[in-house]
Amino acid sequence: MALIQVAVPDIGEFEDVEVIEILVAVGQRVAREDSLVTLESDKASVEIPSPYEGVVREILLSLGDLVSEGAPMVAMEVADDARAGAGGLVVREKGTPEQARATVTGRPRSGDTARRAGDHAEVVVMGAGPGGYTAAFRAADLGKQVTLVEPEATLGGVCLNVGCIPSKALLHIAGVMEEVAELRDQGVSYGDPQVDLGRIRSHKDGVVGTLTGGLARLAKQRGVEVLRGIGRFANPNALEVETADGVRPLTFDAAIIAVGSRSVDIPDFPHEDPRVMDSTAALELGEIPERLLVVGGGIIGLEMATVYHALGSRITVVELLEVLMTGVDRDLVRPLHKRLEARFENLFTGTKVTAMTARGDGIWVSLEGEGAPAEDRFDRVLVAVGRRPNGDRLRAELAGVHVDERGFIPVDERCRTNVPHIYAIGDVTGPPLLAHKATHEGKTAAEVIAGLPAAFDPATIPSVAYTDPEIAWMGLGEEAAREQGIEIRVAKFPWAASGRALGSGRSEGFTKLIFSATDRSLLGAGITGVHAGDLIAEAVLALEMGADAEDLSLTIHPHPTFSESIGMAAEVAHGTVTDLYLPRSRRKPG
């Protein structure tokens, strides 16, 4: 055995770079190529691999040290023959034989470890939302040298910073407040809630910070270079990145466009007035207005309405179409509509906001629709009428990438645009605009670039409205099946027959499964009720696995759970249910 000193190898033009992570501990056995430390310059972070297998005996640098080539990192005990196997590494014996130490100059590995932040990337990813960071991390894990371009200070995009995560943190609070209020009917009551908006805000920001900070660490661990700036195409093989220090050219072998979407504004509405909010402003929780108008009865509008209602606002929702959450089977939406009608000040469907004016005493709106007043005044307004893709902001034409008239970028099942080495993923490629679609597309694009036989070809992409009750659906809807003339068999299990739902005081929901009338294979599912968003995953798996009514009904679900309702609905279709009465004609003979 020999004790050797491993030093910082030649890492290009890096000098005086900071030690930001020590990835090993004294006594730890490391394999060859295991990362020892992470160094970070203003351009990139690099992980330095161990040239040997051995045991770490001493750490020779500290976090925050500024180091250059040749600086000692660790002392390691290695087998005598291990040194011979160190490939192209140059071993320089140092010190006396008694000290038995050596300095090893390692050569940077290509791709995933030591490399210079430069003006070229094997893979450049534009946008660090769930699609972009997933693609960047997967590509790095597959050995690619990746630069992730993102203008915002934190990674995570809309989803982590101003979308899925902060909204769910607030919806959790709203849900608990609602449950506590409802406990009154079950014999337990508390006083009126005391809302400390500052603490709610810092809880939400803490959740977001934990996740986005985690992403920054994951990027560093993988050697993904994060470049702060707005990326725009200069030609089919180069971006110009607008950074705080000026425009930086960046050439690439392959690019992944993951620039997401933004809220739609309504022309002539006073969006510049801070009382007229989009979802990002609403999530900031600047204040709890006495009266809040929510323009748009889709998922985002109704989720935010739920939050503000719990925190004390009187809510009016105005939806242009005749139903809330258009596109979802109406029976699934009905229990939600009923519950919101009982709680909100007004719920106007088939109604249009024709004008909006900001005045000193509030935001005045003109309304057109049955039952709605011609004019009304609100303390704040949330405009949640949809999102539009950011494909129009990339100068994509300079790369020859086709962007449609709405700003979406069409892709094939390998996530390739019309330019074969340029890929697009996430919201910018079209509906559904959902984070889990973006992440799966991100993995597909990275794998295709790495030469793997990947394709984005899901049986379904589930959707969830985290309202109260939640609504979740996947696969073929009942209304869509009937419109398309597909012969189906619909099986419903009402939660009024579920002991768990009754015990929870939430029996208004139901579980609906849609089977093929010919072979009883599962085609779709919809669930309305608490935790519907978690429950739908079983139906998604069943669809992916080609399960039929018998498979689902013979799957033993734990009792008493909400998940049983899926098994019971399948039993309805299979004709074996005993928790409901089925007419003889629909029972399966013994």
Ligand X SMILES: Cc1cc2nc3c(=O)[nH]c(=O)nc-3n(C[C@H](O)[C@H](O)[C@H](O)COP(=O)(O)OP(=O)(O)OC[C@H]3O[C@@H](n4cnc5c(N)ncnc54)[C@H](O)[C@@H]3O)c2cc1C
Q: Which residues bind ligand X (CB under 6 A)?
A: 126-132, 149-152, 157-159, 163-164, 167, 230-231, 258-261, 279, 300, 390, 393-394, 426-427, 433-436, 438, 466
Q: Which is nearer to ligand X, 394 or 422 (CB)?
A: 394
Distance in Å, CB of 151 to ligand X, minimum: 5
Instruction: Give me the phi and psi of 54, to 5 degrees please.
Output: 170, -165
**Shortest distance, CB of residue 407 to ligand X, whole angstroms?**
11
Active site residue 559: yes
| DSSP alpha helix (H) spans, 223-364 | 279-283, 299-310, 330-343
The one-letter code for the residue type at 36 is L
- For ligand X, the closer of residues 367 and 464 by Cβ is 464
Q: What is the Cβ-side half-sphere exposure of residue 462, based on CA atoms within 13 angstroms?
A: 23
For residue 517, which of 555, 553, 557, 476 has the smallest C-alpha distance?
476
Q: Which residue has the tokens 């986005």?
A: 212
C-alpha 391/C-alpha 400 separation (Å) is 13
The distance of closest approach from Cβ of residue 435 to ligand X in the complex, given in angstroms and rounded to an integer, is: 4
Q: How many CB atoms lie within 10 A of CB 585?
A: 6
Both tokens assigned to 401: 């990438």
Which CB sits closer to ligand X, 390 or 565?
Answer: 390
Q: What is the DSSP string of 412-457?
A: -TT-B-SSTTEEE-GGGG-SS--HHHHHHHHHHHHHHHTT------
Identify which of residues 438 and 522 has a Cβ nearer to ligand X in the complex.
438
CB of 299 to ligand X, least distance (A): 7
Nearer of residues 376 and 427 to ligand X, judged by Cβ:
427
Minimal distance in Å, beta carbon 167 to ligand X?
Answer: 4
Which amino acid, 380?
Answer: R
DSSP-based helix, strand, coil % in the chain, nearest 5: 30, 30, 40
| Least distance between ligand X and beta carbon 535 (Å) | 16
Shortest approach of ligand X to residue 322 CB, angstroms?
A: 24
Cβ burial 322-358 (10 Å sphere, 16+ → b, else e) = eebbeebbeebbebbbebbeebbebbbbebebeebeb
Is the CB of 240 or the CB of 564 nearer to ligand X?
A: 240
What contacts 24+ positions apart, CB below 8 Å, involve 372-380? Answer: 372/318, 372/346, 372/348, 376/293, 376/316, 377/291, 378/289, 378/291, 378/292, 378/293, 378/316, 379/275, 379/289, 379/290, 379/291, 379/292, 380/275, 380/276, 380/277, 380/287, 380/289, 380/291, 380/292, 380/293
Would you say 390 or 528 has its CB closer to ligand X?
390
Catalytic residues: 559
